[in-house]
Chain A
């Protein structure tokens, strides 16, 4: 009597019908466990004729493997189904917002200064600095703006009470005597500090805060300028033009931006020039680039020999150029910011709109514009 086919059918059917891992385990024990039915049949083999035993043993082994395989397969299928069910239960609404991370920003003034430094840095300029609270020797006298010079009167200077006693004329550079403390009206005193400290050749820019006691729609009592200074034995007006044209075109990212130099006057440069860039103004719209109009953006010139002399630099041997421009002004032009006063308002809406991403570090390698 051979009941193996029936047993096989019964076991395989049960395996297929099992609905859980536990059911499968019960079936495994009932078939293949120590007292399992297949195990029992295996035990019976010993009592058989060797002839019969070999054949029955082989058949039983086949059955055993088949049932074990069915159990494994069913178990894997059940596990898959269980995982699928769990994952289905874990479904979330992925359109929900993630945990918030506030986004910060860099102020347009900082960004613009970084851009300026990137451009001039590439031309070999280093960044120089000086204090905001200057004395009038650095801010005026050394720059060839003597006390009653009309240019000094036009500067709208903020004064501080500090005033060191002493006789003004004839003092030596570096002395503090007889000078009135002022808030620097331009970054030009950094020229003086640099030349007094470092012998030529010099190539520096000096961005920083500047102050004038004037406040209306187009003036702020505090604003920013960047100064530039080159001193060596051979730099002339052609280099000045080359340097500033390159700056303007790089900064405004217009390869063939028209740039013109026209005569002007600053006490600390001679010859002096103002620099205009080409633009269009049409129907209230303003665009930098080609056009029939000009827009002034900076002042410059060859360093006045008197200024070199004031700093103890031999004006018979050394010469160079200097320039200065308003940072807010060029930021307004480049980024279309309409109102100067809003720069210092700390209005979060403005800062989010005009600010820059933290990682948008200007560089000529990666490109200036974020």
Chain B
């Protein structure tokens, strides 16, 4: 919402500066977007009367002028030939900044005469190169007033943001009213005298809505003005429009635009001679109807859209835009002015479905003053008569003013209870009345507040608290610390949230770089990773690459690896902890930790050669995260049944128990990498953090079993088993571990397959830790345990000791 200071002053009687007003606007909720103030340079300059001028005693070309600003009278030495008694000039007092030179003016003695200021030329003001004489101000300029204002240079442009609730401030007068309430001057009265009608309007108006739809346009006021000359609008009006970036068109059009901006009263002017029939009908559009609007576009209308039609067809879209056919032109001699109230919801829906934005729609959809139809029309009529001549008809009125009166009870104590600051009741009343409310006080001290017709947004007590508080000033609310509401600190994070943070910090500590990628991706990527179902496709994606909610984080990470490779960084280790989506219900969203390692394990190094990443890098990450989340990794089973986007022979699924899938890891299928344009190898992991059971939290702390330290040393024994090449190492390890209760750990230290073993065979070498419990084990005891191990592996895995 743009306006200039002088425009504001049409409605607001104020001495406040533009900067002061701008600051107030911001604080009361009408946030300043921009203040373009050309007066800053001229701030110190005032209008001065040259009372007398006498020649300088010691210089031929200088004069000594006596100037007065009304309050002070001083002598200045002036070299301008046009300086003379009786003129009015631009006076810069000592201490003023001279924009043209950038200097600060000081008291000076010029050839023995003290000069206490300066009368300025245009060049000295920084306006032009004109320096043949000093600026001469008009006769009616007031001494002591701002010189810039007297010169018409002082009209700062103010641009403020209007929140959706404040439709009333989409007119300059509404802004002025708020400023007046905030103590920045007083609101000037508005001249709403009626223009007597000279004749009955030849055009009538009928509201013709189906039952239940009458609220689309409940009230419509209009009048005919005939015998006008629709030429250019007067200079003051053109200047107003130009000052806020509007192009003057013709007097009638300019007046309707001005009414919109000045009083938030959008009007439409029909060229009455082009309206067919003797009445306008306001109704819902009929199927198949069209309208070529003022912007030249042809719109297909639909039932539910409010149109204003003549005897033949729609001529305007109510509250949105007029039609081209009945638009006012320079040839127009008879206009019909429309001042109506259109339903905000329907106006918004119509504009949105047609993609048609206008100043009128913007205001109607925020709600315009339902009690200002007639007054607005009278003001507009007077403007038309003044600018274009002519003769106004009597008013045509259809429908009735929509009900808007309501009384809200405000307990003055509520201001302190909710707002945190006590405001005296008389101040509450003053503020509310300043905003246009009618306030009555009940016997119990409560206030009955009737909000004004233009404030449809005020609907409850909290609204009134807000009105009082914002005008009183948020800065006057004392700051109170927020006390704890529990005596003991509670953890901010629940176990699931804590788990995510642990996973994140652990993966970063393992050398992985955290990324945050979009929750949506392309349909192709989604399909490659098992997603892309219809309910997860965006109806209005920002681009075709980002149109499906992600079923997995991996495609984003793989794409990121590809982008980094293109930048010259092919070896990357990335992770993300974030949501994936398996459906559109809340429970379908799963918190996931995803890891991608690509290329080699590290840079080339003199002591440690890097190698290509592989499935075991991903598995190591998986087990490390699970361990950090207090999952007993011995309880986790691994099977070679990962989904199709993984390498079929180098990938696995992690489960807890027989069914609960914790995650998948492995090398990404080369076909997927090729399709995504990424060079491999890529090792990847995805863990479903929501599937990880939470660590049990017990009151009193996590107790642990007593520590039993054995005085006996553990014994290590190595075994090499030959098994079928498809036997899982995990099964051999489990068989060994379960062979004897004294076995505490089993490590695999060699895997070998070769001709010596024969085809389809491999050798697994394990080292077994045996912890004696009651006594030192003798050789015979160890032999017995070894025999049990060998038997168990033979029985479970068909393994034999390698000879």
The chain A residues found within 8 Å of chain B, CB to CB, are: 96-107, 109-110, 114, 117-118, 120-127, 129-133, 147-151, 153-154, 158-162, 181, 183, 201, 203, 205, 209, 211, 213-215, 221-222, 230, 232, 234-243, 245-246, 260-265, 267, 270-274, 302, 304-306, 319, 343-349, 351-352, 355, 357-359, 361
Contact = CB atoms under 8 A, between A and B. Distances in A.
A144 B593 CA distance: 36
A168 to B, nearest CB: 13
Contact of B581 (A104, A133, A351): A133
Contacts of B492: 117-118, 120-121, 125-127, 205
B27 A154 contact: no
Give 8 closest A-B pairs by Cβ, nearest first: A121-B492, A238-B420, A263-B29, A346-B560, A265-B163, A271-B466, A263-B470, A102-B511
Contact of B534 (A121, A161, A209): A161
B69 to A, nearest CB: 30
B519 A132 contact: yes
Interface string B147-167: 000000000000000011110
A237 B419 contact: yes
Contacts of B434: none
A239 B512 contact: no
A276 B243 CA distance: 30
B504 A241 contact: no
Contacts of B517: 344, 346
28 contacts: A99-B608, A106-B505, A114-B501, A123-B484, A124-B486, A127-B494, A127-B497, A130-B586, A132-B581, A133-B589, A148-B345, A151-B164, A158-B539, A160-B549, A162-B584, A181-B535, A181-B584, A215-B543, A222-B520, A230-B482, A236-B418, A237-B469, A240-B420, A261-B477, A262-B27, A344-B516, A344-B517, A358-B508
A131 B581 CA distance: 10
Contacts of B564: 346-348
Contacts of B506: 358
B494 A239 contact: no
Contact of B607 (A99, A133, A221): A99
A114 B501 CA distance: 9
Contact of A221 (B542, B575, B581, B585): B542
Nearest to A211: B519
Contacts of A201: 485
Given A148-B344, A213-B540, A272-B466, A131 B589 contact: yes
A237 B542 contact: no
Interface string B68-110: 0000000000000000000000000000000000000000000
B791 to A, nearest CB: 43
Contacts of A235: 482
A261 B501 CA distance: 33
Contacts of B589: 131-133
Contacts of B402: none
Contacts of B563: 345-347
Given A133-B584, A271-B469, A158 B605 contact: no
A346 B515 contact: yes
A322 B365 CA distance: 27
Given A120-B492, A238-B479, A242-B479, A100 B535 contact: no
Tell me whether chain A's interface is mostly helix, strand or loop, or mixed.
Answer: mixed
A160 to B, nearest CB: 6
Contact of A104 (B477, B501, B512, B536): B512
B602 interface: yes
B29 A232 contact: no
Contacts of A264: 29, 31, 163
Interface in B325-346: 344-345
B603 interface: yes
B28 interface: yes
B462 interface: yes
Given A158-B538, A158-B541, A243 B29 contact: no
Contacts of A232: 485
Given A104-B507, A203-B485, A263 B474 contact: yes
Nearest to A109: B516
Nearest to A93: B606
Given A110-B516, A160-B539, 8 more contacts: A105-B508, A106-B504, A117-B492, A127-B493, A241-B479, A265-B165, A346-B556, A351-B513
Contacts of B546: 221
Contacts of A215: 542-543
A209 B349 CA distance: 29
Interface string B342-365: 001100110010000000000001
Interface in B151-210: 163-166
Nearest to A238: B420
Nearest to A243: B482
A101 B511 CA distance: 7
Contact of B477 (A101, A107, A241): A241
A358 B505 contact: yes
Given A110-B514, A209-B579, A351-B514, A161 B537 contact: yes
B480 interface: yes
Interface residues of B, number: 104
B803 interface: no
A148 B164 contact: no
Contacts of A109: 516
Interface string B658-697: 0000000000000000000000000000000000000000
A119 B608 CA distance: 43
A103 B511 contact: yes
Interface of B: 26-29, 31, 163-166, 344-345, 348-349, 352, 365-366, 416-421, 460-463, 465-466, 469-470, 474-475, 477-482, 484-486, 489-494, 497, 501, 504-520, 534-543, 546, 549, 556-557, 560, 563-564, 567, 569, 572-575, 577-579, 581, 584-586, 588-589, 602-603, 605-608
A209 B482 CA distance: 27
Nearest to A101: B511
Nearest to B348: A148
B230 to A, nearest CB: 34
Contact of A102 (B352, B490, B573): B573
B466 A222 contact: no
A305 B460 contact: yes
Contacts of B605: 97, 99-100
B501 A274 contact: no
Contacts of A159: 538-540
A352 B481 CA distance: 38
A156 to B, nearest CB: 9
Given A148-B349, A272-B466, A238 B480 contact: yes
A261 B579 contact: no
A124 B489 contact: yes
A319 B465 CA distance: 13
B609 to A, nearest CB: 10
A133 B549 contact: yes
B348 A104 contact: no
A122 B492 CA distance: 8
A319 B414 CA distance: 11
Contacts of B477: 237-238, 241, 261
A184 B727 CA distance: 50
B541 A237 contact: no
Contacts of B489: 122, 124
Contacts of B466: 263, 270-272
Nearest to B416: A236
A203 B462 CA distance: 21
A187 to B, nearest CB: 14
B581 A126 contact: no
Contacts of A358: 505-506, 508-509
Contact of B513 (A104, A129, A213, A305): A104
A109 B569 CA distance: 23
Contacts of B560: 346
B518 to A, nearest CB: 5
A206 B484 CA distance: 18
A317 to B, nearest CB: 12
Given A106-B504, A270-B462, A100 B494 contact: no
